Structure 1
Amino acid sequence: MSESQNIEWKQNWHDDYLKWVCGFANAVGGLIFIGKDDDGAVTHLENHKALMESLPNKIRENLGIICDVNLHDEAGKKYIEIKVNPYSVPVSLRGRYYYRSGSSKMEMTGNTLNEFLLKKAGKTWDDVIEEGAGLDDIDENSIKTFIKDALKSGRMPNDIGELSTVELLEKIRLLDHGKLKRAAIILFGKDPNRFYPNIKVKIGRFGVNDADLRFQEVEEGNIMELLKTVPNQLNYKFFTKPIDFEGLLRIEKDEYPVAAIREMLLNALVHRSYMGSMIQMRVYDNKLTIWNEGLLPEGMELESLKRHHISRPRNPLIADVCFKAGYIDSWGRGTLKIYEACKEMGLPEPEIISMDGGILVTVFKKTTQLPNDQAVVSTGTMKSIEELQKEFGLLSDRITLGKETNVAFLRSNYGVFTGYLRGKYGVNTEEIRKKHNEKALFVLELISIKSDLTRQNIADLLGISLSTIEKNIKILRDATIIGREGTDKIGYWKIIEQK
């Protein structure tokens, strides 16, 4: 047993650990063991009697909840178990709210806290009434677009065209006692940005790296408008070959599959956090990315997106209207369509990762295999270690491991991604990430790009100490994932095909 979403170990009690109790109560509940080390071994509590008397009172007085506090004895060593149940109402500690996510505790503030409080009240952000909005803020042309598409999809009655705007908004649950909900503004508003910031999609064209911004455009408007203007802008200014976004059934001859790009945009618009940053699309020579603020629903992992999974939209009213219009389905198949569309075109497997409080989806162009198992995009060229280091220097002032990393830069510009490692060598990249750590995976990806790198080269490129690199190389070698051909000075790394 290890620390996880609902288990925490502490050797001794400190009142600051009330934050962990609060976090468990606001999440799915959990167990806190006092008197165990980081490996779960019992260390013994000398003051267990005093804690058994004081802890229930401290929890009740500071948090307003009741927890089971139990004393255990293991071979004469005492430890305490605090059982925290999940609560349907928000629990705070001295006016602050905490939440258990994974194996860590976080304080909720700003938009995160707002969404949490709404959820506890049985509401979602898009279901809240917008007091400052009226029917004059609704764009009639967007309403007509929805009616046309909904009739075409067959998911609404044939008589919806005869309904007034008020009747239609009531029918699709966007009007409550004559007042507009937020979803109505996002879907059909004349100027959504008047009510909420960043109801926009920013599109940038980049060169060799993220510092090389060639040009950019910003599209703004309601969802009905963005579904037209963003594809038009991509075709007009960003794609080498225009894409027919209406021709979803034709044979794909473009650089990217239409279905994948459409799903990427729809997912971002439907599932984004509308009080956060604008949606960002980046077009490179070798890939296309889209990022929207807002993480996956609780309990869902990124790997779930590659298989059948339950649809749990962040904005259910917005999602329902998009479903009725025929833009999305209600079975959680959006990401599967992205994977399937790229596979049918013979493209590398897309990547979906968490980054900077949001979800980043990347689709790649076709890659070309070079000697020494190096993978590069067909439009790119292999570069020397000095050239790589020079390019990295452009990003060095804002590189943070696990977010905007040097490895992310390599993935962006040299076509290496986890799907390549899985497909060519059978490497279980997710197991490496979970069983070992992210850095071991970074090392492996860098070796797959340039197999003759030295340990010091890898340390310099990743911005990690040499000792850490050596530790992670040992992890990969002990797991028989990589080997070394030749000497340390004159030789190269070899990725071993997994059986």
Structure 2
Amino acid sequence: MSRMENQDIEYKSVWRDEYLQWICGFANARGGIIYIGISDNGKVVGVKNADRLLEDIPNKTVSVLGIVPYVQLHKDGEDTSYLEIGVEPQEFPISCKGLYYVRSGATNQLLKGVALDTFLLRKQGRTWDAAVAPRIAVEDLDRGAIVRFFAKAQREGRIPASDAAEDSRASLERLHLLLDGRPTNAAVLLFHPDPDAVYPGAIVKIGFFDGPEILYQDQVAGPIIEQPDRVLDLIYTKYLRAKISYDGIYRIEHYPFPRAAVREAVINAIVHKNYTSTSPIQIRVYDDRLRIGNACILPDGWTVDDLLGFHESEPHNPKIAHTFFLAGLVESWGRGVQKIFAACKFDGIEPPVYRMTGGSLQVEFAVPGERMVKPGTMEPSLQNDVPVMAENGATWRDLARLGATWRDLVEIWDGLSAREHSVLDYLASNGPSRTSDISTNLGIPLRTLQRTMKRLAGLSLIVPQGKANESRYALMLDSEAGGS
């Protein structure tokens, strides 16, 4: 055999009754073939008692699984033979001795917990997001979020003006987000003022990392229909640094990743998240990469390769996906990944890498070397002006606004303590200084000040200078631009 094991093919050198679990897995996915008498590397090793197995395997499959496979005997030369067991996909869920298995990639997975619940719902033609939400009434939802959604959908031309309902219940009925008059899980996630209180993990966490250490972070909560814009604004105003150039007098900012690609990846994570998982969507930003991770259940039988290729739209949360479509946030053609790749190609960067890690889908963008902006640096065109501006009374914060590109200094300022403000102001006024002098002049205990200086250095706001016994601290700007 020239083909290796994959979603549709499994090799076994001998038959064991436990392989009924593999037949069950194929039946619950998209079907497949098990070859008996072929090793894992595809080499025909032959099978003993082939004639007996031709009867035993179908009989045992019918008895245990209730389905009929087709079993064929093949000859490989005069003395060697192997069996082919063909399994058709089944419309109804198939169990093996009370347990449910499904083929995923080249593995056979035992379904438990949420994965099993989702599988059984799908086999019944239902999805989790279409089920009734527990203990939530229509009145608990955010009427303002519903009104804003309808206005946006009408601007996109995907809902006619005549569909603007006067009350929340009528609005949700038009969106098919009620079941027996009660809000569905989709309705709660989309329009509840705090869906995380109902389904823990219905938030997006963003953090800036230096190796394993997190330097600062944010959390985006509220109706998930409104989360994408807030997440994108945070990423591009606080977490990503643009490479700055000039065309004459015009300042040009070139971010490491095209906004359209990151936007699509963020929306995909929110729309397709497995909301029965308590893990929030996590966006990790580093100097050289950005990684988006969300708890994810791929469609039955899918692998990451299927996700990256052309495919029909099979959303995990179809009610949520349709509402995002009406708002103009997604399409209905399963082209999300292709749009990300196209945006990256147009922008001249490599597309992100996709991988499944446990139950999480990870999407990682890499910063191209020519777009890397190191913390504590400023554009060459501004460096010569720094001493002049400083002599004229410009502070480090003024310089940050004028083009210093270290890590989002102005935004960080608002999150610092009064003590940290006073230390930075002291260094801005006095230049590089010893911790003992800062401690004396500001009245801060030395041990407390040392912790403060360590935190400010971790934020790339200050940097130590000189030898250990003569060490001084300077503003990062002073160190890089020669202001001291």
| TM-based fold match above 0.5 | yes
Q: Deviations over 1:230-262 (max 9, x none)?
A: 2344356434469xxxxxxxx974444322222
SS in 2 for 1:275: coil
For 2:32 and 2:310, how far apart are their aligned partners in 1?
A: 28
Which residue is equivalent to 1:102? 105
Superposition pairs for residues 169-184 of structure 1, below 5 Å? 169-184=172-187
Cα 1:346–1:328 change in 2 (3 A) is same
Residue 38 (str. 1) matches residue 40 (str. 2) = yes
Superposition pairs for residues 110-129 of structure 1, below 5 Å? 110-129=113-132
In 2, are the aligned partners of 1:174 and 1:183 still within 8 Å (CA)?
A: yes
For 2:259 and 2:98, how far apart are their aligned partners in 1?
A: 48
Cα 1:225–1:349 change in 2 (3 A) is closer
For 1:322 and 1:269, how far apart are their aligned partners in 2?
A: 10
Higher mean displacement: 143-152 or 255-264: 255-264
Deviation of 1:175 (Å): 1.1
Paired AA for residue 108 in structure 1: L
Paired AA for residue 374 in structure 2: T
In 1, are the aligned partners of 2:94 and 2:100 still within 8 Å (CA)?
A: yes
More RCO (CA 8 Å, sep 6+): 2
Superposition pairs for residues 220-369 of structure 1, below 5 Å? 220-234=221-235, 237-240=238-241, 253-276=254-277, 277-298=279-300, 302=304, 309-368=311-370
Superposition pairs for residues 147-158 of structure 1, below 5 Å? 147-158=150-161
In 1, are the aligned partners of 2:272 and 2:317 still within 8 Å (CA)?
A: yes
Deviation of 1:280 (Å): 0.4
In 2, are the aligned partners of 1:346 and 1:366 still within 8 Å (CA)?
A: no
Deviation of 1:99 (Å): 1.2
For 1:83 and 1:344, how far apart are their aligned partners in 2?
A: 45
Paired AA for residue 63 in structure 1: L
For 1:307 and 1:78, how far apart are their aligned partners in 2?
A: 36
**Which consecutive unaligned segments of at least 5 residues does structure 1 have?**
243-250, 369-375, 381-499
Residue 83 (str. 1) matches residue 83 (str. 2) = no
Paired AA for residue 131 in structure 2: V
Which residue is equivalent to 1:166? 169
SS in 2 for 1:45: coil
Deviation of 1:220 (Å): 2.0
Deviation of 1:104 (Å): 1.8
For 1:28 and 1:314, how far apart are their aligned partners in 2?
A: 17
Cα 1:164–1:366 change in 2 (3 A) is same
TM-score (norm 1): 0.67
Which residue is equivalent to 2:217? 216
Deviation of 1:16 (Å): 1.3
In 2, are the aligned partners of 1:295 and 1:354 still within 8 Å (CA)?
A: no
Deviation of 1:295 (Å): 4.7
Deviation of 1:35 (Å): 2.4
Deviation of 1:159 (Å): 1.8
Q: Deviations over 1:114-147 (max 9, x none)?
A: 2211111111221122242211221111101101
Paired AA for residue 33 in structure 1: Y
Residue 379 (str. 1) matches residue 374 (str. 2) = yes
Paired AA for residue 105 in structure 2: G
Q: Deviations over 1:344-395 (max 9, x none)?
A: 4333433333333222222333314xxxxxxx94639xxxxxxxxxxxxxxx
SS in 2 for 1:332: coil
Cα 1:254–1:77 change in 2 (3 A) is closer
Paired AA for residue 191 in structure 2: F
Cα 1:235–1:29 change in 2 (3 A) is closer
For 1:104 and 1:308, how far apart are their aligned partners in 2?
A: 23
The correspondence for 2:135, drawn from 132, 135, 148, is 132
Which residue is equivalent to 2:13? 11
Tell which structure's C-alpha radius of gyration is larger: 2
The correspondence for 1:22, drawn from 21, 24, 32, is 24
For 1:37 and 1:305, how far apart are their aligned partners in 2?
A: 29
**Which consecutive unaligned segments of at least 5 residues does structure 2 have?**
244-251, 376-484
For 1:222 and 1:126, how far apart are their aligned partners in 2?
A: 15
Which residue is equivalent to 1:440? none
Deviation of 1:203 (Å): 1.1
- Indicate the RMSD between aligned Cα atoms, in angstroms: 2.7
Overall identity of the aligned pairs, in %: 39
Cα 1:284–1:176 change in 2 (3 A) is same
For 1:126 and 1:18, how far apart are their aligned partners in 2?
A: 32
The correspondence for 1:57, drawn from 56, 59, 62, is 59
Paired AA for residue 217 in structure 2: Q
Deviation of 1:169 (Å): 0.8
Paired AA for residue 271 in structure 2: V
Paired AA for residue 337 in structure 2: T
For 1:123 and 1:55, how far apart are their aligned partners in 2?
A: 33
TM-score (norm 2): 0.68
For 1:108 and 1:150, how far apart are their aligned partners in 2?
A: 38
For 1:39 and 1:234, how far apart are their aligned partners in 2?
A: 46
Q: Deviations over 1:427-459 (max 9, x none)?
A: xxxxxxxxxxxxxxxxxxxxxxxxxxxxxxxxx
